[in-house]
A and B are shown apart, each in its own frame.
Chain A
């Protein structure tokens, strides 16, 4: 009975995504999924995925940090991941470009595909992978080099520019895409660490863009920024969506609502609910999701 209901609801949701918010009444009548139910509810899978994650488990030593998570990341969408702190958002995000390899004692099982490439395949080299899946961190971490060198760092090590002029072009276009060019074009030789927090974070985004990634992972990119800088970065994310697939972790639900098309809610290592952002925030189907977005715990 519940299965049929789920399927029906899934279809209703697809319709909801397509017609953006219609048919909500149908969903609203259904009783919430129980708190102790840990199967993912909602729509974790999409029609044209860029990344496919199936039965991913992550262990830090004995600690089971991510439990059997399966989800897709669609092309040119912004997927937001929310949940109380310590629930494994960062851990899961770091699986997507194998940043967890640098953490001692961290073990990842399951399959993660980028297009057709299984990124945890033994033959896969992380260097080109991380060029395809870039990352922006919670705290702006520009290198203690000039603004130019910060952006040129990736293209240089990957040999993307044949000449100095080409490198300059890449730097300029990356800074432009990151919306920082007008502010720094006259002081490219100044240290990147001298910029304001919001500028630093946009510099880090420019640095990630400069290696021409397909997917950009952002781990709470605005949590160290003031509201104005946050708004700038959010506008930037909305613009970048046209060219890149973006996965963003945030603890700010308004931010998730503003920038993302789909939202995934994590709880203690489980992926509890996935769905269109509109639906998740207006009509969560899992009791835990509702508790979280109504602020019952954080």
Chain B
């Protein structure tokens, strides 16, 4: 029996059990005149359904995880013995052949008869295994269902048990996210460690030259690659900084205008329009930056006699700033609106003007949310790639001059990973090191911001 069919059957069975359980509980509730049922009737149904479905689904999962390798080992035992193979590498090769054969991706005429025999044996055993699984799983389901349906009586504490299961499920979901994060960090960390075995961390962290070109053949002369991350980091901070200089004042001011001064109709119309800015694909912003903003800045620079490169950090930063305005404005607007009207009344009642009220009462009370929105915007700016590729170029200049080309960490990660590269060359591994660096930087920003918020927060009820 195929797996989807089996799972569907189990689910059907457990729905049936749910229905039966509910019915039984309702009957009980009607019989016992004083309403002595411990929980609401439908909890008994849910509990019965769980008892039917959960154990048998667990059987299916465990069986599938365990059976496949076991079956392959059993099938290959004969082959390995006949061929006299002892090294694991060769054995692995043969296992791959077997897998391909079973999946039908290998030409039949090239097949070693021994392997063919093993494959036949494997398929036969798998059929038996599947049948056995179906039997075991379905009987587990039935057993669970019967067991519980029999136990339904007024004193069964169904609600507590169901809620315990729900709690376990919720806990699993929340820890899953944590474990995935840990996994991602670990994988980046491991690759970075491999990188740092070839390039010293001090060179990476404090080097002023970023030029990851490596000699491809051993006899090639010339570039040996240098991996100083400072220029790339400076580029990131420069461009993000320009973006924040645009986005924070514009976003904050529009948030204040929208929440405190604008009429309800104007606000309802303008807020979604502003939010569209965040919905434009970044590639489109990239076009706009490269084809409109960068040339305009260049022309402007030429007019006042400033040398501006045709790809400049300023162009990328400006456009990125526009892109992240809604992150600041929309969220800040929400938190400002959440400041209770009673605080405004209190301030007006003391004779404060509107601007004094905003400055002295509303903004301090909304500060944590505002900082949060700015943080979100910063991490968006630091992570942004497309606009920078298109408008600021890829040259890793070490410069604080916004009129020159610059590059960012994310752009470099992309360029390091495109093209044919061995996955253990320092050039590719450098991408992981940059990723780790970026991760640490954003983490540090978050921690600092959290600290600032906690220190200066003004809590209202």
Identify the A interface with B (CB < 8 A): 97, 99, 102, 126-131, 134-135, 137, 139, 141-145, 153-154, 157-158, 191, 193, 204, 207-208, 211
A-B contact pairs, 28 of them (CB 8 A): A97-B349, A99-B348, A99-B349, A127-B353, A130-B349, A131-B350, A134-B349, A134-B350, A137-B342, A141-B340, A141-B342, A141-B343, A143-B343, A143-B361, A143-B365, A144-B364, A144-B458, A145-B364, A153-B347, A153-B352, A154-B350, A154-B351, A157-B352, A157-B353, A157-B360, A204-B346, A207-B346, A208-B350
Question: With contacts defined as CB atoms under 8 Å apart, how many contacts are there between chain A and chain B in the complex?
Answer: 74
Q: How far is the CB of A105 from chain B (nearest CB, A)?
A: 11
Which residues from B are CB-within-8-Å of A141? 340, 342-343, 345-346
Q: What residue in chain A is nearest B356 (Cβ atoms)?
A: A157
Q: How far is the CB of A130 from chain B (nearest CB, A)?
A: 4
Q: What residue in chain B is nearest A140 (Cβ atoms)?
A: B342
B99 sits at the interface (CB 8 A)? no
CA distance A124 to B46 in the complex (A): 69
B219 sits at the interface (CB 8 A)? no
> Quick check: B460 and A207 within 8 Å, CB to CB?
no
Interface secondary structure of B, over-half rule:
helix
> Quick check: B351 and A131 within 8 Å, CB to CB?
yes
Which residues from B are CB-within-8-Å of A144? 343, 364-365, 458-460
Q: How far is the CB of A186 from chain B (nearest CB, A)?
A: 21
> Quick check: A137 and B346 within 8 Å, CB to CB?
yes
B420 sits at the interface (CB 8 A)? no
CA distance A154 to B460 in the complex (A): 19
Which residues from A are CB-within-8-Å of B346? 137, 141-143, 204, 207
Q: How far is the CB of A175 from chain B (nearest CB, A)?
A: 16
Q: What residue in chain B is nearest A150 (Cβ atoms)?
A: B346
B89 sits at the interface (CB 8 A)? no
Which residues from A are CB-within-8-Å of B365? 143-144
Q: How far is the CB of B341 from chain A (nearest CB, A)?
A: 9
> Quick check: A211 and B342 within 8 Å, CB to CB?
no
CA distance A219 to B223 in the complex (A): 80
Q: What residue in chain A is nearest B354 (Cβ atoms)?
A: A102
B461 sits at the interface (CB 8 A)? yes
Q: How far is the CB of A191 from chain B (nearest CB, A)?
A: 7
Which residues from A are CB-within-8-Å of B343? 141, 143-144
Q: What residue in chain B is nearest A207 (Cβ atoms)?
A: B350
Which residues from B are CB-within-8-Å of A128? 351
When A and B form their complex, which 5 residue pairs have the shortest distance between CB atoms, in order from nearest? A144-B458, A135-B349, A130-B351, A141-B342, A131-B351
Q: How far is the CB of B458 from chain A (nearest CB, A)?
A: 3
Which residues from B are CB-within-8-Å of A193? 459-461
> Quick check: B360 and A153 within 8 Å, CB to CB?
yes
CA distance A251 to B196 in the complex (A): 75
CA distance A191 to B459 in the complex (A): 8
CA distance A144 to B461 in the complex (A): 9
Best-surrounded residue of B350, B356, B365, B460 (most CB of chain A within 10 A)? B350
> Quick check: B348 and A130 within 8 Å, CB to CB?
yes
Which residues from B are CB-within-8-Å of A99? 345, 348-349
Q: What residue in chain B is nearest A154 (Cβ atoms)?
A: B350
CA distance A126 to B360 in the complex (A): 18
> In the complex, which residues 341-384 of chain B have their Cβ closer than 8 Å to any Cβ of chain A?
342-353, 356, 360-361, 364-365
> In the complex, which residues 67-85 of chain B have their Cβ closer than 8 Å to any Cβ of chain A?
none
Which residues from B are CB-within-8-Å of A102? 344-345, 348
